[in-house]
Amino acid sequence: MRVLFLDCISGISGDMTVGALCDLGVKPSTFEWELSKLELGDFHMHFDRQQRQAMEGVKFGIHEGSTHHREPDAPCACGGHEHGHAHKEHEAGHGQGHHHAHGHKHGHPAHHHGHEQEHAHGRTHAEIRALIEASDLTPFVKTHALSIFQRIAVAEGKIHGQPPETVAFHEVGALDSIADIICACVGIEQLGIDEVRVSSLFDGRGWVDCAHGRFPIPVPATLELLAGIPLSQVDEPFEFITPTGAAILAEFGRSFGPMPTLRVEKIGYGIGSRILPNRPNLLRAVLGETDAPSVYLTDTVVRVETNLDDLLPEIAGAVLNRLMDAGALDAALLPIQMKKNRPGVQLSVLCEEAALGKIADLIFAETTAFGIRMDRVERWKLDRRFENVATPFGEITVKLGLRNGVVVQAAPEYESCRAASERTGEPLRVMYEAALRAYREQGLK
């Protein structure tokens, strides 16, 4: 399985993502050719090799500008041959390449915290969706680009109290942000990525000015887009994660944590605009292969354990319930033999990184534990979907587990069965049997 690991050592923005994908081998002219499929007017793309704290990568930028148009693989103006309208120049004595691609686009570059340029105008969500749907972009790029803009529209709509369809994008509706999102999708498809995994995420502190006003960091849109994904802060007065970068991660990221075991093929660096004092402002992208099958979903969670030989049974059951209420993914008590041959139990909890502090506090407060053990473990999971099936006792929800789009597990949901049992007066077991029978008869796929 081909994996792209995004190491967000200085956060992530849309332009840093495109720069990193270019450094991994996607040609500038490929980005330009795909972007020219949108009716957006004239544009000029830059792919410059730059350094941040002696680490070199690709700095991507785009602005409005008129130029000619050529078919892919037409000769470049400099006499080379490089897919489309890109040409490459070298600075004498420096070895830094500068790629310039020209196309037809019209738009308004974006805001973004030192990563992305700032301009005033934008487009509505409906306008951007219409542009993408009317284009000749590949189905992969169309699907994911539309999904990313939908994510942003939902986040912005929630923040400003508007339906997603009526949201008017300002920074994200501008030329550079549209280019970032389309090109990110293009690059992932071009590299043949099966799965995108992401490092642990952090943002800075302070404030940022944008079209809607002055917002705290992380900005509201970034927080909304990263809901459910572990996020922390560092004590630096910079915005490290832009809304565009957050939306790309929310769309493609399958896990967030340490780099998985990979046979590394290539490493690319996407350069950010700002010069940071404490770290190189770049996104590191690692391309490699893993033996894990792509048909499973994967993520990384924290396993927390402690051994207890003096926990009252009445308390034990309550602790498990409270752990689940506190955000545990799973919690169990296992019988064990402890020192001096004392019978005891092992409390084992799985949780996401973001819930670890709350889980640890609860264990120390509610049990007799003097210490806990923690490690990060990788999970393989079936994709999950919920369907309602019609039974003689009313509708009951069934949870389906899918592998590569095929249902391999089906289980009635307890709460749905319990509600049906209470409503009808029939035993809970009968509800389970009726739900499974209805699922098989209705042939849900």
Q: Identify whether residues 334 and 193 lie together within a single domain.
A: no
Angle at 234 between CA 229 and CA 237, to 5 degrees: 120
What's the N-to-C CA distance of the chain in angstroms?
25
DSSP string over 74-109: PBPTTS-B-TTT-EEEE-TTT--EEEEEEE------
Give me the amino acid identity at 179: A
Q: Identify whether residues 227 and 357 lie together within a single domain.
A: no
Query: CB–CB of 52/281 below 8 Å?
Result: yes
Point out the domain boundary residue: 289, 314, 338.
289
Q: Identify whether residues 133 and 194 lie together within a single domain.
A: yes
Q: Identify whether residues 251 and 152 lie together within a single domain.
A: yes
* pTM reported for the whole predicted model: 0.64
Q: Identify whether residues 278 and 344 lie together within a single domain.
A: no
Q: Identify whether residues 377 and 387 lie together within a single domain.
A: no
Residue 87's pLDDT is 34
CATH code where residue 377 lies: 3.30.70.1380
Q: Identify whether residues 261 and 366 lie together within a single domain.
A: no
Q: List, in order, residues 6 or more apart from 160 with CB less than 8 Å away.
A: 167, 212
Binning pLDDT at 50, 70 and 90, where does residue 117 land?
Answer: very low
CATH code where residue 407 lies: 3.10.20.300
Six-digit token string for 19 = 């720069």
Six-digit token string for 359 = 């889980």
Three-state SS for 109-130 is CCCCCCCCCCCCCCCEHHHHHH
Please give the Cα distance from 358 to 355 (Å, whole number): 6
Tokens 């990184």, located at residue = 353
Report which of residues 122 and 164 the model is more confident about. 164
Q: Identify whether residues 202 and 332 lie together within a single domain.
A: no
Point out the domain boundary residue: 289, 324, 355.
289
Please give the Cα distance from 297 to 384 (Å, whole number): 10
Query: CB–CB of 132/171 below 8 Å?
Result: no
Residue 183's pLDDT is 98
Q: Identify whether residues 109 and 182 lie together within a single domain.
A: yes
Q: Identify whether residues 426 and 323 lie together within a single domain.
A: no
Q: Identify whether residues 275 and 334 lie together within a single domain.
A: no
Residue 212 pLDDT > 90: no
Domain span holding position 394: 383-442
Point out the domain boundary residue: 271, 289, 307.
289
Please give the tally of structural domains in the chain. 3
Mean pLDDT computed over every residue of the chain: 85
Contacts 24+ apart (CB under 8 A), 360-365: 360/304, 362/319, 362/322, 362/323, 362/326, 363/304, 363/306, 363/319, 363/323
Question: Rounded mean pLDDT of 113-129?
Answer: 62
Residue 28 pLDDT > 60: yes
Please give the Cα distance from 442 to 395 (Å, whole number): 13
pLDDT tens per residue, range 66-106: 544 433 333 232 233 233 333 333 332 333 355 555 554 33
Q: Identify whether residues 117 and 191 lie together within a single domain.
A: yes
Q: Which helix (H) or strand (E) holds 139?
A: helix 139-160
